[in-house]
Amino acid sequence: MPTLTKPLAADSLQQHFLAGHISSSGRLQALHTRMLQALPDIDRIACALYDASDDTLTTFINSTRNGLPLPAYQFVLADSPSLSALARDSSVRMLDDLPHTLQPTSMHSRWLLDQGYLSSFTVPMYDQRGLLGFIFFDSLRLHAFPEKTQRDLLLYSNLISMTVANEVETIRSLRASTHLACEFAHLRDFETGAHLQRMSHYAKLIAAAVAPHYHLSDEFIEHVFWFAPLHDIGKIGIPDNILLKQGSFNPAERQIMETHVAKGLEIIGKLIDDFGLGDFPDTAELRNIVSCHHELLDGSGYPLGLSGDAIPISARIVSVADIYDALTTVRPYKRPWSHAQAMSELQHMADEGKLDKHCVHALNTMAEKVQAIQREFHDN
């Protein structure tokens, strides 16, 4: 195993990269900058996360020196025999002449060629559950990955895998804890697991679609997906006679119901402290989603009556996803609406200035993907 240069092998580099006070994207970019001292031909590093539930890979974080990154890209792992083989065999892949070895048969391969990358090195990431995703190293130079460079990059891959796995596992634990709390509070009949799965997938679709307009990163999109199921965690503090009421609330009941936002923030704050996430920068979006998903753009929402851009885009995305799922599924007090009926109502709310029009439009243009989510995560 080759010895890395002192600035790159120093313990301070590992401590900085694994520190929680900056985002995963920021840590990857900092590592990339340091790597370039010894490996100047590494023009791009990117990580894609694997979701075993639907066999998909989704772009997550990247550090790109030249050209444009590949944003909000998702594909089925089974559609890539070479990546599937890497995952199965725990092996690596080196392509040292992309124009002559890579066929432009996918969006990813066409993008690599269009950006002028000439060679690449791919390493799978694993955690205790299995395949976590892949790390892609790309270069604008031919034959940029000799054996010594590959050995060095495997060391860096360990660092990258550690920080990504730590973040993913932390969020998994946070979500599992809140889900368990909901079950103990007898919320399953109201907020089913299928509902939370559907609306989080809707939120991811919307976030990816509006990313160019709002300049959202892949990391942000993934955090919306991770945090969306926690939006109503405060409802575990609402009495069943109100939470499960079949019919409209009277003013006193509505006032009690609306306190679930403040209760949710209290619960999230306690969980963040318990999990030691005080320095985890992305919990800000979790707080935004919990605190603002009932705010409306015209100021008529609650609890703060925020309006316009004062409402974080993460909350606007989750709001549209949540309302759509509530309209299209059975509730104790209503029958499910059709997709067309639900979209008509969402568009009406957007026209009234209550919902983000870009988020509503995004959902309306993806009917087939929405229906696929409904089929996969249907209520029993």
User: What is the pLDDT, as a whole number, of residue 176?
Assistant: 74
- Torsions phi, psi of 67, nearest 5? 80, -160
pLDDT value for 280: 67
User: How far is the C-alpha of 49 from the C-alpha of 77, rounded, in Å?
Assistant: 11
Give me the pLDDT at residue 15, please: 40
Annotation says 235 is catalytic? yes
Residue 302 confidence (pLDDT): 95
Burial of 317 per CB tally in 10 Å (0-12, 13-18, 19+): buried
CA–CA gap between residue 354 and residue 348 (Å, rounded) = 9
Residues 6 or more apart from 273 whose CB is under 8 A from it? none
Burial of 252 (0-12, 13-18, 19+ CB in 10 A): exposed
Q: Output the pLDDT for position 246.
A: 78
Annotated catalytic residue, options 148, 204, 235, 357: 235
Please report which helix (H) or strand (E) contains residue 177, including its range.
helix 147-184
Please tell me the predicted confidence (pLDDT) of residue 70: 87
156-185 pLDDT per residue, tens: 999 999 989 988 887 777 777 766 665 655
pTM, two decimals, is 0.80
- Predicted confidence pLDDT, tens digits, the chain (380 residues): 333 333 333 333 344 333 444 678 888 999 999 999 999 999 999 999 999 988 999 999 999 998 888 888 999 999 999 999 999 999 999 999 999 998 888 888 899 999 999 999 999 999 988 999 999 999 999 999 999 999 999 999 999 999 899 888 877 777 777 666 656 554 444 556 688 889 999 999 999 999 999 999 999 999 999 889 889 888 888 888 888 787 789 999 999 999 999 999 998 888 878 776 666 667 888 899 999 999 999 999 999 999 999 999 999 999 999 999 999 988 766 789 999 999 999 999 999 999 999 999 999 999 999 999 999 988 77
Are 316 and 356 within 8 A, CB to CB?
yes
Q: Which residue segments constitute the domains of the chain, with CATH numbers given?
A: 6-167 (3.30.450.40), 185-376 (1.10.3210.10)
Cα separation, 184 vs 242, whole angstroms: 17
